[in-house]
Amino acid sequence: MFEFLVKRIATIVPTLVFVSMLIFGLQQLLPGDPAVILAGEERDENVVAYLREKLHLDEPLPVRYGYWVGGVLQGDLGESVRTQQPVLDLIVQKLPVTVELAMLAMAIALTIGIPAGIVSAVGRGTPWDAAANAFALWGLSTPNFWLGILLILLFSVQLGWLPASGYVSPFVSLSDNLAAMIMPAFVLGNAIAAVLMRHTRSAMLLVLNADYVRTARAKGLSERVVVLKHSLRNALTPIITLGALEFGTLLSGAVLTEQVFTIPGFGKLIVDAVFNRDYAVVQGVVLVTASAYIALNLLADIAYVAVNPRLRG
């Protein structure tokens, strides 16, 4: 296990290096002098000179990359042109909101996706299966910002049950917080539920044909025990690892959902940064999401091996 851990952790090093190059490289796409563009609309000469100095723009590209990576490794992601705050601070401020949204969405996705997948696999070919598959297709084909608008139309405008926007911190009022988060979390969870349902269905179909499941049935165990105890437990591992890969979809979706429901999270941060031409913030957000994705993947892989002794080798 220890050897596996070392090897697996070693593989993320080159990936992280290329991610950093990719994100640093984004700057090269800017048309014209980065210092002038980064200085914002005022193009204050002092700011331009300061940025040229700070970003080492007179140095060759590899040297600039070296400075940039050096800063990132010390937690310096640059500073926002708009607010002069360090990018890392901005991200740390907004992160908890998005993490809450993501966790609620994942909870909803798991509660819908896994039972739907089980029902669909057990009742293969029945109307239940067809209904679950139709649900998955709906989830995969609905743009989540549209679903958000439709929910606002129904629950906020028509019925007046839930607020259309207005984030409240859970530390101020948990009930107001949940009232504001339930629609965005459902919108976000809906698409993930579709993916989870498909994974669960195929994993369960594989397991339901396995010899040990036939043995369990032959022993005369009830179908309930066979499905939930013998099959699901074994199908769950690939479902959980594949679920971890949906983290990217979750963050991508959060950008749009936060925009629809005006939730002051990570997604709102990157969109506002784009429109304020606050490129350091854009880079910072991409860097943090990519690193989080790599870390989650690593954890999922380790968990996969940890629960599956045959893979330890």
Partner 1 sequence: MAAVLPFARTDLATLPSEAGAWRRAWRRLRRRRSAMAGLIVVCAFVLAALLAPWLAPFDPIETSWSAIRQAPSAAHWFGTDDIGRDVLSRVVWGTRASLLAGVVSVSISLALGVPIGLAAGFAGGFVDALISRITDAFLACPFLILAIALAAFLGPNLTNAMIAIGVSATPIFVRLTRGQVINVKVEDYIEAARALGNPPLRIAWRHVLPNILAPVLVQATLAIAAAIIAEASLSFLGLGQQPPAPSWGSMLNTAKNYVDNAPWMAIWPGLAIFLLVLSFNLLGDGLRDALDPRQR
- Contacts with partner 1, residue ranges (CB under 8 A): 14-19, 21-23, 26-27, 29-31, 137-138, 140-143, 145-146, 149-150, 152-153, 156-157, 164, 247-249, 251-253, 255-256, 259-260, 270-271, 273-275, 279, 282-283, 285-286, 289-291, 293-294, 297
Using the minimum distance from each CB to partner 1, give the nearer residue, 221 or 286.
286
Question: CA 101 to CA 258: how far, in whole Å?
Answer: 9
**Distance in Å, CB of 276 to partner 1, minimum:** 10
**Distance in Å, CB of 229 to partner 1, minimum:** 28
Using the minimum distance from each CB to partner 1, give the nearer residue, 149 or 240.
149
Using the minimum distance from each CB to partner 1, give the nearer residue, 62 or 309.
62
**Distance in Å, CB of 294 to partner 1, minimum:** 5
Using the minimum distance from each CB to partner 1, give the nearer residue, 148 or 226.
148
> Closest Cα partner for 142 from 195, 103, 203?
195
**Per-residue buried b or exposed e for 95-116, using 16+ beta carbons within 10 Å of the residue's own CB:** bebbebbbebbbebbbebbbeb
**Distance in Å, CB of 266 to partner 1, minimum:** 9
Using the minimum distance from each CB to partner 1, give the nearer residue, 6 or 157.
157
Question: CA 307 to CA 310: how far, in whole Å?
Answer: 9
Per the structure block, which two tokens stand in for 207? Answer: 């397991």
**Distance in Å, CB of 140 to partner 1, minimum:** 6
Question: CA 50 to CA 227: how far, in whole Å?
Answer: 65
Instruction: Round to the nearest angstrom and report the end-to-end CA distance of the chain.
Output: 8
**Distance in Å, CB of 220 to partner 1, minimum:** 32
> Where do runs of H (alpha helix) occur along the chain?
2-26, 34-38, 45-54, 61-73, 87-122, 127-141, 144-151, 174-208, 211-218, 223-225, 232-245, 247-260, 266-275, 279-307
Using the minimum distance from each CB to partner 1, give the nearer residue, 232 or 270.
270
